[in-house]
Structure 1
């Protein structure tokens, strides 16, 4: 019996607009200013450095690492505040959170660092039992079944009591399934179909209610 719903964050509850602006515009613009070069050149350098690490490396998600790496002197909060207006929930998110929180415990399990998940969802905290970053809390990305087992232990739940929902087919569907959780792949582009696929959070809510 499902007791807990675990959500990914970016691309699932909120659009990716905010994190993209921080990482792909904010950091390069600060790098350009710090090193006295043009924005286009700074973007190329910064993007190449990101890609040399990749999404399976904890450094990818670590803002401190990148600010140190690029010799940028700015408080994390100040950088995050620069793009506050770009935090954007999907249209159905708040309705679905209100509906599901009446029956289930809701949590966020994101690869994003704690400072990002807290910043983006802080005003919606009342819907959640917990908002957490698996990279910050467990020191692992959602690339490993053990990450989801850590999540279950952290929540005091058995894997078959948790369903995870997210927009990354591997991180948010295949890996949690391997760990023994139920999982739904959120395919907003409608490229796939099947019992494991939903196309928005309203559809996800209906599917979970039927489990």
Structure 2
């Protein structure tokens, strides 16, 4: 019996606009200013550095690492605050969270660092039992079944008591399923269909509450 609904964050509850602004605009702009080079050159250099690390490396998600790596003249909180107005929830997010919170415990389980997750949720944090960055909390990304085992142990729940919902087919669907959780793949681009595929959070809520 499902007792806990676990959500990914970016691309699931909120659009990716905020994180893209911080990483793909903010960091290169600061690099160009700090090192006095053209912005397009800075973007290429920064993006190449990001890709050389990759999404399976914890450094990918660590803003402090990149501020130090690029010798940027800014505090982490100031960079996060700079793009506060870019945080954008999907239209159905608040409605669905309020509905599901009546019958289930809700958690966030994101690869994104804690400061990003908490910053993006803002005043909606009260709806969640736990707000977890798995990279910060467990030192793992979501490409390992062990990460979801750690999540279940932390929540004191059996895998079959947890449903995970997210927009990354591998991180948020295939891996949690392998770990024994229920999972739904959130395909907002409507490229796939199937019993475990939903196209928005309203569809996800309907599947969960059947």
- Give the equivalent residue in structure 2 for 1:104: 104
- Give the equivalent residue in structure 2 for 1:195: 195
Scaled by the length of structure 2, the TM-score of the pair is: 0.99
Measured against aligned partners, the alpha-carbon deviations of 1:136-167 in whole angstroms (never above 9, x if no partner) come to: 00000001000000000000000000000000
- Give the equivalent residue in structure 2 for 1:150: 150
Alignment of 1:159-178 (within 5 A): 159-178=159-178
Matched, 1:41 2:29: no
Distance in 2 (alpha carbons) for counterparts of 1:42 and 1:200: 36
Could you tell me how far 1:73 is from its partner in structure 2?
Answer: 2.4
Moved more, 120-129 or 9-18: 120-129
- Give the equivalent residue in structure 2 for 1:182: 182
**2:6 alignment partner, SS class:** strand
Distance in 2 (alpha carbons) for counterparts of 1:107 and 1:73: 34
Paired residue total: 210
Distance in 1 (alpha carbons) for counterparts of 2:95 and 2:54: 34
- Give the equivalent residue in structure 2 for 1:129: 129
RMSD, matched Cα? 0.5
Distance in 2 (alpha carbons) for counterparts of 1:47 and 1:3: 40
Gaps of 5+ in 2: none
Could you tell me how far 1:122 is from its partner in structure 2?
Answer: 2.3
- Give the equivalent residue in structure 1 for 2:86: 86
Measured against aligned partners, the alpha-carbon deviations of 1:54-74 in whole angstroms (never above 9, x if no partner) come to: 001100000111011100121
- Give the equivalent residue in structure 2 for 1:20: 20
Measured against aligned partners, the alpha-carbon deviations of 1:93-144 in whole angstroms (never above 9, x if no partner) come to: 0000000000000000000000000100021011100111000000000010
Could you tell me how far 1:38 is from its partner in structure 2?
Answer: 1.1
**1:151 alignment partner, SS class:** helix
Distance in 2 (alpha carbons) for counterparts of 1:62 and 1:172: 20
**2:5 alignment partner, SS class:** strand
Distance in 2 (alpha carbons) for counterparts of 1:136 and 1:122: 18
Distance in 2 (alpha carbons) for counterparts of 1:114 and 1:29: 23
Could you tell me how far 1:75 is from its partner in structure 2?
Answer: 1.0
- Give the equivalent residue in structure 2 for 1:67: 67
Could you tell me how far 1:79 is from its partner in structure 2?
Answer: 0.1
Could you tell me how far 1:7 is from its partner in structure 2?
Answer: 0.1
Could you tell me how far 1:180 is from its partner in structure 2?
Answer: 0.1
